[in-house]
Structure 1
Amino acid sequence: MGSDGADQSRLRQLNERAVLAAVRSAGPVRVAQIVEQSGLGRTAVEEVLSSLVTRRWLVEESPAIRGRGRPARSYRFRAEAGYVAGLDIGAYSVRGALTDLDGRVLASVRHPVAPEMRRDERLGTADQVIAECAREAGVPVSRVWAVGAGTTGLVDTTGTVVRANAIPDWAGTNVPAHFTTRLAVADNDSQLAALAEQRHGTPAAGPADMVFLHAGRRTGLALVLDGQLRRGAFGAAADMSALRGVAWEAALQYLHDVVPADVPPLDKAERAFAAARDGDRAARAAVRRYAHAMAVAAATAIAIVDPRLLVLGGSFSRAADVLLEPLTAELTRLCPRVPEVRASELGALCVALGAASLAQDAVHTRLLDPTRGALPTLTSRSL
């Protein structure tokens, strides 16, 4: 191919990405809007749209007929062309959510595990969760293009777990490397829970600055600053787990001590919250002591960031009716100015949803990468 042909091919590829990006960000969208957003001429846009519809990346929507004249055509990205799996890999469970490429949740599955489970077994459970999510959604597992994983511990930019106190053999695990047949990414669970709150919370895309308090069997903090998840230089932003003055892991024992010893460990906190809800004085006191431990760490982040919003997330957010008031009272005592305090509505699925969002971002980046050549015709196979 001569230089002119190569230049034309390159131009077509760039035009494809520009049009695809315009539809992804605003679809369903009309041709005139695509012209405006992409910066391309109408003829070039029309040619690219026809090609992307033929290759099954876009769908031309049936226009509504209003009055006289030719109705305006609109196009949408085929979010059902592929799927992503979001995983929450923890010490006591592996939870998964399957979404389409626009983030619509189609299935979720949870498998219990134990902290002492071997690394290969835990990762094998993750594979099983992905397969079960696909089966529940009625989707061929080959169409799961990407996997995002949130996991306990400090996770570096390669997706390798640098430190994990809750799982004995987990440090050193490169989580994405396990999913060799798919695009895969990983990050810390609290970071991804905050990402999920930003993308899927109520209201989604709330204040630009947010402190996220991840409360459950594991506890963590995460920051959203200027509308962006802030990981820090080494992925440890807001990680206070090693600070002696922060005793939030031990604070779980306050809740466990007020329920019968024969209650399974995974159910103890929920039972304590239920007892507090019923007016049990010992349980209410335990919840206040737990809230104090949470507030100490949250107040430190608030003092540094001065956010508009603090979100209580994780599985304990379901106990917001008994936990939010003492948490807010402790923050009022500790902070010169308390932000709005809100409970997440995502519950225990928050990490898996954040992991799915991370995977969607990875797919989006790959789709729009002009160095990857022309977009192929979509089939049932992976990206």
Structure 2
Amino acid sequence: MPPTGSPSALRSANLERIVGVLRTATEVSQAEIARRTDLAPATVSNIVRQLVATGLVETSGGAGRRGLTVQISRRAGLVAGLDFGHSHLEVALGDLAGRPLVGVRRPLDNDHRYADGLALAEDLLDDLLAELGESRDAVRAGGLGLPAPITKDGRITAGSILPGWVGVAAADVASAVLGIPILVDNDANLGALAEHHHDPGVTTLAYLKASSGIGCGLVLDGRLYRGGLGTAGELGHVTLDESGPLCRCGSRGCLEAYAGGSGLIEQLRGRAPDLAVHDLADLAVSGDAGARRLLEDAGRALGQGSAILANLLSPEVIVVGGDLACEILVDGIRDGLRRHAVDGLEGAIEVRLSTLGDKASVVGALVTALDAVALTG
């Protein structure tokens, strides 16, 4: 690393600011880059010219150098995103701005062996590359999401969702199989990262993933927050009632025991034996009274948990995603906030559905893959 304050450090910082702008816009003029970064037009022009020379960006149109339109070059390479859910695998390819280009989703048993999951991921990745007419060499890096707490050394320690991954150094084994650098994170963290990438003006947000389980990703002051041990955001295992129902984690009365999709569908199993978690929201929205009541109750429980987040962290926005995400759930969360958050917070915090839907985690995986790409290399 260049010494702080050295010319090379200053250039690296300026380059990072410019690339940050390019990643949030399809194309932008050099004059607009200078305005957004507060850099001198000549500095922007010099760095853009250097990036063009390396093939990382391309320019077009405009009158004069400041009027040129700049965008990250499609020829600069690709990043891959892999999202292992409770019962699915989604793989996507994106450009070096983190924009998805192609993707595919396949069912996957939650008790699969990690090696089998990665073998399927490799096959799907090659299919997507063939669709784009590219080879594996075009992929610069990948991001991988897993629905479980992940320690700082990249291992899953709790096996209640994906037992076949417990104790595995996920980044190492995925890199070895796929032949590219891989960064691994919790799927809710990736959802939070994707939402922030989509709306960078929001500097503090919580992303609630309501699916088979309950996950939470946090962006604080513009940065993804993982905590000192790497497992921050386990909101699903906050105790609401220590005499409540048994949770899959072994404790009683966890938020997830009241709002997790796996538990909710069990309550409808008698009259809907084939119901899957991703069907529950549609069933409720279509007017089924039992499904609607379950999601209303789950929303209020999530609102109680969200009030804890609100009182501690004061997020500007709470974004709700995952298989259970719908307005019924969001209304319940708002009601829970009204009941349990301190005065003034419940109306000030925006609660909304994710605009990325069930793609949030895989989009976040694409964005996190960018961290493994050395743009100056």
Task: Work out whether residues 33 and 44 of structure 2, in 8 Å CA contact, stay in contact via their aligned partners in 1.
Answer: no
Task: Work out whether residues 79 and 102 of structure 1, in 8 Å CA contact, stay in contact via their aligned partners in 2.
Answer: no
Once the two structures are TM-superposed, the CA of residue 79 in structure 1 deviates from its matched residue by 4.3
Q: 1:196 aligns with which of 194, 197, 202?
A: 194
Q: Helix, strand or coil for the counterpart of 2:233?
A: coil
Q: 1:326 aligns with which of 302, 319, 332?
A: 332
1:129-144 matches, within 5 Å, as 129-144=124-139
1:56 aligned partner, one-letter code: G
Q: 1:87 aligns with which of 54, 69, 82?
A: 82
Q: If the length of structure 2 is used for normalisation, what is the TM-score?
A: 0.79
Matched residues, percent identical? 26
CA distance in 2, matches of 1:208, 1:40: 25
Alignment partner, residue 55 of structure 2: 56
Alignment partner, residue 367 of structure 2: 357
- State whether structure 2 residue 145 is matched by structure 1 residue 150: yes
- State whether structure 2 residue 307 is matched by structure 1 residue 277: no
Alignment partner, residue 303 of structure 2: 295
Q: If the length of structure 1 is used for normalisation, what is the TM-score?
A: 0.78
1:196 aligned partner, one-letter code: A
The gaps in structure 1 that reach 5 residues or longer are 1-10, 369-374, 376-383
2:332 aligned partner, one-letter code: P
Deviations 1:41-90 (A, max 9, x none): 969965x766654442332423348xxxx985555432441111111112
Report the CA distance shift for 1:132/1:23 in structure 2 as closer, same or farther (over 3 A): same
1:177-192 matches, within 5 Å, as 177-178=172-173, 179-180=175-176, 181-192=179-190
Deviates further, 99-108 or 20-29: 20-29
Task: Work out whether residues 194 and 212 of structure 1, in 8 Å CA contact, stay in contact via their aligned partners in 2.
Answer: yes
Alignment partner, residue 7 of structure 1: none
RMSD of aligned residue pairs (Cα, Å): 3.4
CA distance in 2, matches of 1:244, 1:280: 29
Greater relative contact order, per chain length (Cα 8 Å cut-off, separation 6+): 1
1:327-346 matches, within 5 Å, as 327-336=333-342, 337-338=345-346, 339-346=349-356
The gaps in structure 2 that reach 5 residues or longer are 1-5, 23-27, 241-253
Q: Helix, strand or coil for the counterpart of 1:163?
A: coil
> 4+ residue stretches of structure 1 with deviation over 6 A?
11-16, 31-34, 36-41
CA distance in 2, matches of 1:298, 1:44: 42
User: How many residue pairs were aligned?
Assistant: 345
Report the CA distance shift for 1:206/1:259 in structure 2 as closer, same or farther (over 3 A): farther
From the CA coordinates, give the structure whose radius of gyration is larger: 1
Once the two structures are TM-superposed, the CA of residue 212 in structure 1 deviates from its matched residue by 1.6
2:369 aligned partner, one-letter code: A
Report the CA distance shift for 1:352/1:306 in structure 2 as closer, same or farther (over 3 A): same
1:300-319 matches, within 5 Å, as 300-317=308-325
